[in-house]
């Protein structure tokens, strides 16, 4: 391939020994065979990839951290623009900002910013990519304090479908700046992102209390969160312990002084008789890795998501009963409380519109053996369907699989028409379509799912 001599990074093709590894993403359900994977090092490499894909008429996928459940970071028979070598991180402690390359992972960004006692809203797992995460919104431990990751995005550099490098921020290319904060990878290849940082930690109160699986614990959780300050976030998961027994885990993180954290968390820790209580002062970097062991790469995964404006008694009972029937010990149901700073941003201020949601509910089916796929997918779909009457409109784009056109519309909600206009301006031919696709307004229909639907 001519691209080999045109870029300073490496082009990996099917005959190369790294190919099998390089084409894998986090979700073991994804098994795609690109024609080539271009590991870019510079912005010039990215521009060369776009030119090569155009002249060879190859479909293009963009890879940040490779964590997306839908697997759109890879494509069959096309060119993967892989940013995993673009790792530059520059912290400006005085301005409290950081600029990072499009291939940086959250663990890497957190480690660099914490050297100065700073952080921004990042992923729960250290191995998630900052780019795909932020472009879809970005839910994390600090979101009730400081907003979503996209709310902290100050500027970005992006290579468009025409191969032009643009800077986007409040004053330059403002329409694109708006679209990148929730519109996903539809508009070009983001080569670097600049974030607002905040003083965080370095030690804060965090950890989990685990209880036997019961509706009562979830009702307590709901009531407790009703009066929680913005500095507190408690994620709740229905899962299984090391002994395989079903349990409810409430993982709390208090972003503030340690004494205040102990005080605020006292009612949570005094509730019932926990099986385990490991809440204690911990380095922020440790908090940001608590979830890592639960979601190893390579396992088979299928997710379904809702937003909820309230956590009703009926939804709680449904979730508890369905969880008891989960076919795999690796499956879980997660509740992510929103509100706080997220809700103080207007629905149309950024492309991410789901500002009124109180919870994100995620059904995570995970299993190892291919023969168990049908049972696990069915379990997740059935529970999702039964919860639908209690759910709010919309879905978080970063939790979508290949679920078809209506779900893509739901993900962009009231901002779809404007996103579609901006797509027309920057990518009129829909060159970047390996994503939860926004069609250019000029094209027939507004949105379609990625080409690999597995509802």
Binding status of residue 143 toward ligand FAD by CB under 6 A: no
Among 190, 204, 265, 383, binds ligand FAD (CB under 6 A): 190
Binding status of residue 192 toward ligand FAD by CB under 6 A: no
Between residues 189 and 197, which has the closer beta carbon with respect to ligand FAD? 189
Task: Choose the stretch contacting ligand FAD; rule: CB under 6 A; options: 4-12, 134-142, 253-261, 304-312.
Answer: 134-142
Binding status of residue 67 toward ligand FAD by CB under 6 A: yes
Among 52, 73, 118, 218, binds ligand FAD (CB under 6 A): 73
- Give the angle subtended at the CA of 351 by the CAs of 61 and 397, to the nearest 5°: 50
Binding status of residue 201 toward ligand FAD by CB under 6 A: no
CA–CA gap between residue 330 and residue 297 (Å, rounded): 13
Binding status of residue 366 toward ligand FAD by CB under 6 A: no
Task: Choose the stretch contacting ligand FAD; rule: CB under 6 A; options: 4-12, 64-72, 246-254, 316-324.
Answer: 64-72
Between residues 24 and 269, which has the closer beta carbon with respect to ligand FAD? 24
CA–CA gap between residue 426 and residue 255 (Å, rounded): 39
Binding status of residue 64 toward ligand FAD by CB under 6 A: yes
Minimum Å gap between C-beta 239 and ligand FAD is 13
Between residues 67 and 222, which has the closer beta carbon with respect to ligand FAD? 67
- Structure-block tokens of residue 52: 């090569």
Among positions 376-435, residues that touch ligand FAD (CB under 6 A) are 398, 435
Binding status of residue 132 toward ligand FAD by CB under 6 A: yes
Among 28, 78, 129, 440, binds ligand FAD (CB under 6 A): 129
CA–CA gap between residue 352 and residue 190 (Å, rounded): 17
Between residues 128 and 448, which has the closer beta carbon with respect to ligand FAD? 128
Between residues 37 and 83, which has the closer beta carbon with respect to ligand FAD? 83
- Give the angle subtended at the CA of 258 by the CAs of 257 and 262, to the nearest 5°: 120
Minimum Å gap between C-beta 73 and ligand FAD is 4
Between residues 52 and 86, which has the closer beta carbon with respect to ligand FAD? 86
Q: Lay out the site mask for ligand FAD across 289-318 (x = CB under 6 A, - = otherwise).
A: ------x-----------------------
Binding status of residue 184 toward ligand FAD by CB under 6 A: yes
Binding status of residue 189 toward ligand FAD by CB under 6 A: yes
Between residues 107 and 123, which has the closer beta carbon with respect to ligand FAD? 123
Between residues 224 and 330, which has the closer beta carbon with respect to ligand FAD? 330
Among 37, 41, 83, 109, binds ligand FAD (CB under 6 A): 83
CA–CA gap between residue 189 and residue 180 (Å, rounded): 11
Task: Choose the stretch contacting ligand FAD; rule: CB under 6 A; options: 120-128, 343-351, 402-410, 440-448.
Answer: 120-128
Binding status of residue 80 toward ligand FAD by CB under 6 A: no
Minimum Å gap between C-beta 241 and ligand FAD is 19
- Give the angle subtended at the CA of 8 by the CAs of 6 and 10, to the nearest 5°: 90
- Give the angle subtended at the CA of 103 by the CAs of 98 and 109, to the nearest 5°: 35
Binding status of residue 142 toward ligand FAD by CB under 6 A: no
Task: Choose the stretch contacting ligand FAD; rule: CB under 6 A; options: 30-38, 123-131, 168-176, 239-247.
Answer: 123-131
CA dihedral of 112, 114, 115, 116, whole degrees rounded to 10 = 120
Binding status of residue 135 toward ligand FAD by CB under 6 A: yes
Please give the residue ranges that form the binding site for ligand FAD (CB under 6 A). Answer: 25-26, 62-69, 72-73, 83, 102, 123-125, 128-129, 131-133, 135-136, 138-140, 184-185, 189-190, 295, 398, 435
């Amino acid at each position: 391939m001519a691209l080999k001599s045109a870029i300073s990074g490496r082009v990996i093709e099917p005959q190369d020994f790294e190919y099998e590894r390089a084409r894998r993403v986090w979700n073991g359900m994804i098994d795609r065979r690109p024609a080539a994977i271009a590991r870019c090092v510079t912005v010039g490499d990215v521009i060369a990839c776009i030119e090569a894909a155009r002249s060879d008429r190859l479909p293009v996928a963009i890879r940040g951290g490779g964590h997306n459940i839908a697997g759109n970071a890879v494509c069959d028979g096309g060119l993967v623009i892989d940013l995993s070598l673009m790792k530059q991180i520059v912290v400006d402690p005085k301005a409290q900002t950081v600029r990072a390359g499009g291939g940086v992972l959250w663990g890497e960004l957190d480690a660099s910013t914490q050297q100065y006692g700073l952080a921004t809203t990042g992923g729960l797992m250290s191995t998630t990519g900052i780019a795909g995460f932020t472009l879809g919104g970005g839910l994390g431990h600090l979101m009730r304090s400081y907003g979503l990751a996209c709310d902290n995005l100050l500027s970005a550099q992006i290579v468009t479908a025409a191969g032009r490098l643009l800077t986007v921020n409040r004053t330059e290319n403002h329409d694109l700046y708006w679209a990148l904060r929730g519109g996903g990878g539809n508009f070009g290849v983001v080569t670097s992102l600049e974030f607002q940082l905040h003083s965080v930690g370095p030690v804060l109160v965090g950890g989990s209390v685990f209880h036997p699986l019961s509706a009562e614990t979830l009702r307590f959780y709901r009531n407790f969160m009703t009066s929680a300050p913005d500095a507190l976030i408690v994620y709740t998961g229905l899962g299984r312990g090391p002994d395989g027994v079903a349990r409810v885990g409430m993982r709390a993180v208090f972003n503030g002084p340690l004494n205040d954290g102990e005080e605020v968390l006292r009612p949570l820790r005094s509730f019932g008789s926990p099986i385990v209580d490991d809440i204690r002062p911990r380095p922020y970097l440790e908090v940001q890795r608590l979830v890592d062991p639960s979601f190893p790469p390579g396992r088979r995964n299928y997710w379904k998501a809702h937003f909820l404006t309230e956590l009703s008694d009926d939804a709680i009972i449904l979730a508890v009963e369905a969880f008891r029937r989960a076919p795999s010990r690796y499956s879980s149901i997660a509740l992510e409380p929103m509100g706080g700073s997220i809700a103080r941003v207007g629905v149309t201020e950024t492309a991410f519109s789901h500002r009124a949601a109180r919870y994100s509910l995620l059904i995570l089916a995970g299993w190892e053996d291919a023969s168990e796929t049908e049972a696990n997918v069915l379990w997740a779909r059935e529970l999702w369907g039964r919860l639908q009457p209690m759910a709010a409109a919309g879905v978080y784009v970063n939790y979508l699989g290949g679920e078809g056109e209506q779900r893509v519309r739901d993900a962009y909600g009231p901002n779809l028409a404007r996103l579609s206009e901006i797509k027309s301006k920057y990518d009129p031919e829909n060159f970047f379509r390996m994503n939860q696709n926004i069609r250019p307004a000029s094209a027939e229909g507004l949105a379609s799912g990625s080409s690999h639907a597995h509802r």
